[in-house]
């Protein structure tokens, strides 16, 4: 790893690192916040996966998570949303290619050589974080929009790796949305049977979750039709899944919305990560 920057923040440290990724085949960048409690021992970890067009930096600088993480003694990890660089395939559209990795492993060219974000988050970056920083094995995961999709699908498929789960305005039914069908066709091919493992509503119905789930959705979200929160609510009802799905009146899809409820989500995870309850 190479240190890019380090800043004192709420008596903790917000750092940014780059490292060579064997999984993605290029250098990757991530942010990590260590609360002041990490100076005296290992702390639990909350992962935040960002949405379309974002980098590691958006939530790190606009989400307001660090103050709450310092209060509750939780580390924060902010991965990038895709591989980057001259060798990485891209598309002119904002919702495909660089900045739009969708937290899956691409099986189709030209994306396959580098777009392996599922393995990057679940295996490579987790192992790096676990080995290089004072953190426990108690990990929670959250995210916004495309990152909410990533948080839900990754956690549902890896319940032994994550003890707590939440999301902000997630894309919960991408196999039935233009934010999903386009990307799945490009990254995974046209066989829709392969898409199900990346659809949170389908996964919830098939696998369930070992604890409760928190989802906040802005009621004035301009992308509501693409997010399809009703599909996840229906799946939770049919599964009889313990979940809190809050429709927040007046809020849209922006980081003004995310930052307004960041404290609720950090506390939600901290309560479950500290006690081991999930």
> What pLDDT sits at residue 277?
37
Distance (Å) of CA 262 to CA 46, 82, 95, 269: 12, 23, 25, 11
Q: Average per-residue pLDDT in the chain? A: 97
Whether 201 is catalytic is no
* Residue 89 vs residue 276, higher pLDDT: 89
Q: What pLDDT, on the 0 to 100 scale, is given for residue 58?
A: 97
Return phi, psi of residue 197, to 5°: -70, -5
pLDDT number for residue 8: 98
Catalytic residue chosen out of the listed positions 80, 199, 216, 221: 221
Distance CA 263, CA 242 (A): 21
201-241 pLDDT, tens digit each? 999 999 999 999 999 999 999 999 999 999 999 999 999 99
Catalytic residue among 82, 145, 164, 201: 145
CATH numbers and ranges of domains, the chain:
2-275 (3.40.50.1820)
Helix (H, G, I), strand (E, B) or coil at 101: coil
Q: What pTM was computed for the model?
A: 0.97
* pLDDT above 90: residue 265: yes
- Mean pLDDT across 153-168: 98
Rounded mean pLDDT of 155-175?
98
Reply yes or no on whether the pLDDT at 67 is more than 50. Answer: yes
Q: Can 221 be counted among the known catalytic residues?
A: yes
- In percent, how much of the chain has pLDDT > 70? 99
Return the structure tokens found at 274: 């500290």
- What is the per-residue pLDDT for 275? 72
The answer, yes or no, to whether residue 278 has pLDDT greater than 60, is no
| Residues 156/199, Cβ–Cβ less than 8 Å | no
Catalytic annotation, pick one of 198, 253, 265, 269 = 253
What stretches of 35-181 adopt beta strand conformation (E)?
43-49, 75-79, 135-143, 164-168
- Is 253 annotated in the active site? yes
SS (H, E, C) 202-230: HHHHHHCCCCCEEEEEECCCCCHHHHCHH
Residue 107 in this model has a pLDDT that exceeds 60: yes
């Amino acid at each position: 790893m190479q240190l890019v920057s380090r800043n004192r923040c709420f008596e903790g440290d917000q750092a940014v690192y780059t490292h060579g990724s064997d999984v993605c085949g290029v250098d990757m960048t991530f942010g990590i916040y260590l609360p002041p409690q990490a100076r005296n021992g290992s702390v639990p970890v909350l992962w935040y996966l960002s949405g379309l067009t974002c980098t590691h930096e958006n939530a790190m600088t606009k989400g307001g998570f660090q103050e709450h993480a310092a209060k509750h003694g939780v580390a924060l990890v902010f991965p990038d949303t895709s591989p980057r660089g001259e060798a990485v395939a891209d598309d002119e559209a904002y919702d495909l290619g660089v900045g739009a990795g969708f937290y899956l492993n691409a099986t189709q060219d030209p994306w396959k050589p580098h777009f392996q974000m599922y393995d990057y988050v679940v295996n490579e970056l987790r192992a790096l974080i676990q080995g290089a920083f004072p953190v426990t094995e108690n990990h929670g995961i959250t995210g916004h929009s495309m990152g909410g999709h990533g948080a839900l699908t990754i956690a549902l498929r890896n319940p032994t790796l994550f003890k707590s789960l939440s999301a902000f305005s997630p894309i919960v039914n991408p196999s039935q949305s233009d934010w999903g069908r386009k990307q799945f066709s490009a990254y995974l091919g046209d066989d829709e049977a392969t898409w199900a493992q990346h659809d949170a509503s389908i996964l919830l119905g098939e696998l369930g979750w070992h604890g409760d789930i928190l989802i906040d959705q802005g009621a004035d979200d301009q992308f509501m039709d693409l997010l399809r929160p009703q599909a996840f609510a229906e799946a939770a009802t049919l599964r009889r899944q313990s979940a809190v799905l809050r429709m927040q009146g007046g809020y849209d899809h922006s980081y003004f919305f995310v930052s307004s409820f960041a404290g609720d989500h950090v506390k939600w995870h901290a309560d479950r990560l500290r006690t081991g309850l999930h």
